[in-house]
Amino acid sequence: MKTILLTGGAGYIGSHTALALIAAGFEPVVLDNFANSHPVVLDRLARIAGRPLVLEQGDVLDTDWLQDVLRRHRPAGVVHFAGDKAVGESVAQPLKYFHNNISGAVSLLRAMEAAHAEDPTTAPTLVFSSSATVYGDPASVPITEDFPRSHTNPYGHTKLVIEDMLYALNAARPAWRMGVLRYFNPVGAHPSGLIGEDPAGIPNNLMPFVAQVAVGQREHLNVFGDDYPTPDGTGVRDYIHVQDLAAGHVAAIRALLDRGESFTVNLGTGRGHSVLEVVRAFEKASGRPVPYRIAPRRPGDVAQCWADPGLAQRLLGWQAKHTLEEMCTDAWRWQSGNPAGYRS
């Protein structure tokens, strides 16, 4: 059974990917420092998988320790989820983001390089969590991978720098196999309702905020702008079920291991939904009202953003399957069963 190391594997996307890898016959090793996740995730994963998962608790900034982890587990591939992801916090604390995200990626790549020098029999294989944020304010939709990249905040800047680092390293080391995955808007939860998104404090993103309004934890949603050039005036995004995203990682690992060619692909559905469509879909899925007020636009927001997922389909044979209704139903099952997240 091939081992796959997941940095940030206890987080929202990492935990769902760990289960998808097990279902596909891989052995995930979860590496996390629990900076933005909870150790109880491992108990939940064990309940769903029917057996405990291997955990390595520590920090990706610790290169020597990472090297030791790689030596002990000899993973066939690494998925690098670990990092900080809150846009607003990155504006207030840019150094935190440049350090954890960029230095964290350098630390991992150095450890992988050292492990490869010790055991040159397999090619280093890495999947990286990038984001649609690297497209900045796109000139048109749908977005293809060759669109120009830019950044509007330090978080997005770190994703762009890490992508460039990977491309430069791959140019110098063509034997490395790298899959850069640009996620659109991940939402939803595992159908068991046992794992899901557990944001600390007030959620920045739409779906967890809507879920907390529906469960009665927050009074109303602020809809950030209703005067965008979109069908109903509210922002349009490509929401993708986290289970589809997890399947995308399995497809990416398989493609890298089987074919050995690096790639950069969008992981999205190719469909956009407005804020008000999300509100209505969530009300239907939960049977609860989601009161909202129109508020000013959020600085830095774009009117519409959705993927052309054609390249991922051609290269990886992967396609998103879940509808917005399913995303809301699964998010609601998680939220209503765990009103205070993993601290419930």
Query: What residues are labeled active site?
Result: 155
Among 81, 18, 75, 2, smallest CA distance to 51 is for: 18
Q: Which is nearer to ligand UD1, 150 or 204 (CB)?
A: 204
Q: Is the dihedral of CA 87, 89, 91, 94 positive or negative?
A: negative
Residue 59 in the binding site for ligand NAD (CB under 6 A): yes
Distance separating alpha carbons of residues 313 and 265, to the nearest angstrom? 9
Interface residue with ligand NAD among 6, 14, 166, 180 (CB under 6 A) is 14
Amino acid sitting at position 177:
R
Question: Which residue is nearest to ligand UD1, using beta carbons?
Answer: 235
- Applying the rule CB under 6 A, the residues between 37 and 56 that interact with ligand NAD are 37
Number of chain positions touching ligand NAD (CB under 6 A): 26
| Number of CB atoms found within 10 A of residue 17's CB | 31
Closest to 196 measured CA to CA, from 34, 38, 26: 38
Cβ atoms of 291 and 220 within 8 Å: the answer is yes
Q: Which of 307, 336, 241, 232 is closest to 277 using CA atoms?
A: 232
Q: Which does 36 bind (CB under 5 to 8 A by kind): ligand NAD, ligand UD1, none?
A: ligand NAD
Q: Following CA atoms 263, 264, 270, 275 in sequence, which dihedral angle do they give, to the nearest 10 degrees?
A: 150
**CB of 219 vs ligand NAD, minimal distance in Å:** 24
Q: 69 vs 206, which CB is nearer to ligand UD1?
A: 206
- Token representation of residue 127: 């999947």
Site for ligand NAD in 128-167 (CB under 6 A): 129, 131
Which one of 4, 36, 207, 327 is in contact with ligand NAD (CB under 6 A)?
Answer: 36
> CA angle 300-291-91, nearest 5°?
20
**Binding string, residues 77-116; x marks residues near ligand NAD by CB under 6 A:** ----xxx-x--------------x---x------------
At closest approach, how far in Å is the CB of 32 from ligand NAD? 5
> Of 10 and 324, which has the nearer Cβ to ligand NAD?
10
**Is 20 a binder of ligand NAD (CB under 6 A)?**
no
Tell whether the torsion through CA atoms of 37, 342, 196 and 272 is positive or negative: negative
Work out how close the CB of 134 gets to ligand UD1 at its nearest, in angstroms, rounded to a whole number.
9
As a whole number of angstroms, the distance between CA 30 and CA 265 comes to 24
Binding residues for ligand UD1 (CB under 6 A): 87, 131, 133, 156, 185, 204-206, 209, 221-224, 235, 237, 275, 298, 300-301
Piece of 5-13, 19-27, 88-96, 309-317 that binds ligand NAD (CB under 6 A): 5-13
Angle, alpha carbons 104-109-111 (nearest 5°): 95
User: Is the CB of 71 or the CB of 220 nearer to ligand UD1?
Assistant: 220
Cβ atoms of 321 and 180 closer than 8 Å: no
- DSSP annotation of 137 reads S
Pick the binder of ligand NAD from 4, 5, 10, 53 (CB under 6 A).
10
- Binding region for ligand NAD (CB under 6 A): 7-8, 10-14, 32-37, 59-61, 81-83, 85, 100, 104, 129, 131, 183, 186
